Amino acid sequence: MNQLEQLKQHTVVVADTGDFQLLRAYTPRDATTNPSLILKAVQKDEYRPLLERTLTDHRGLPARDLIDRLLVAFGREILAIVPGRVSTEVDARLSFDIEGTLVKARQLIHLYESAGVSRERVLIKVASTWEGIRAAEILQREDIRCNMTLLFSPVQAAAAAEARAQLISPFVGRIYDWYKRAAGPQWDEAAMAGANDPGVQSVERIYRYFKHFDYRTEVMGASFRNTGQILALAGCDLLTISPDLLEKLQQTEGEVPRRLDPASAHETAMEKLATDERSFRYQLNDDAMATEKLAEGIRIFAADVIKLEKLVASRQ
């Protein structure tokens, strides 16, 4: 078997793309999207009819509302291909707005349900800020399942689990990027690969923490830079992988042993992290990497939402 087939024996494979026409080649169970991926997809010729149809069907709506319809249109096309769930992201500009996040999440679920898609098949992606986690806690009680994104630190993960979020998406590649840049010329790519990769170690730490304390929140590694990072996390609950890396895994033969095992997590003594607001904010602030990558991620996603709005406005 190729590496992708073997990986699927240990981990649920998720496709990280808005380019749904690529999904059939890799048969993932779920798919994830974000504003950057949708912006990239919607500019391709093959998706122009979907964009035009969305604009025609909802002509006259404000740009922000049209973006919601566009996100759901992509989500519906994805769900026609994958058997599981799709993740659709709340506007990053609401990352510090509890009420705004609640309104947007409920609106997205309403649009899906109005189109005949049950809420069980949708994960609403919310930034892992203090406010985002509080919003997710409320949404989960309403049976709106949340995928906590832009997650870089143990305290973000622990707080999301305490809030009973459905799933978290720790960003392997962006953590790797930060440490590589910080090390500069001292970075040794070979020595820091695989299990020594700081992004891989972050997800492994979170995975063991969740299994040790029997949290039901799913752990889904995300934002990979190479297949070595993916293979080092074989056994994680889920891994969301870009099409180019799915292709590399599919084209490569070789053994893929399981690296993460829930049974081993109970063998290590651990203490729970404090997740009250004061402790959360201090621990996050004390982690320079997590603080910087969270802020940067929000800025990037917000900028791409604005680009989407301008693109939609130019077509009306």
State the residue for tokens 């029997």. Answer: 214
The tokens of 92 are what? 């990053």
In the annotation, is 125 catalytic? yes
Asked if residue 27 lies in contact with residue 54, where contact means CB atoms within 8 angstroms, the answer is no
Asked if residue 81 lies in contact with residue 20, where contact means CB atoms within 8 angstroms, the answer is yes
For residue 180, give the nearest of 170, 171, 188, 191 by alpha carbon.
188
User: Would you give the distance in Å from CA 197 to the centre of its chain?
Assistant: 19
Asked if residue 151 lies in contact with residue 203, where contact means CB atoms within 8 angstroms, the answer is no
The tokens of 161 are what? 């689990």
The tokens of 143 are what? 């049976």
The SS3 call for residue 148 is: strand
Residues 6+ away with beta carbon under 8 Å from 251? 2
Asked if residue 165 lies in contact with residue 214, where contact means CB atoms within 8 angstroms, the answer is no
Taking the C-alpha atoms of residue 174 and residue 181, their distance in angstroms, rounded to an integer, is 11
The tokens of 20 are what? 């749904």
3-state SS string for 170-194: EEHHHHHHHHHHHHHHHCCCCCCCH
Strand extents, DSSP E, the chain: 12-16, 30-32, 86-89, 122-127, 146-151, 167-170, 218-221, 238-241
Q: Which of 125, 180, 248, 307 is catalytic?
A: 125
Active-site residue set: 125
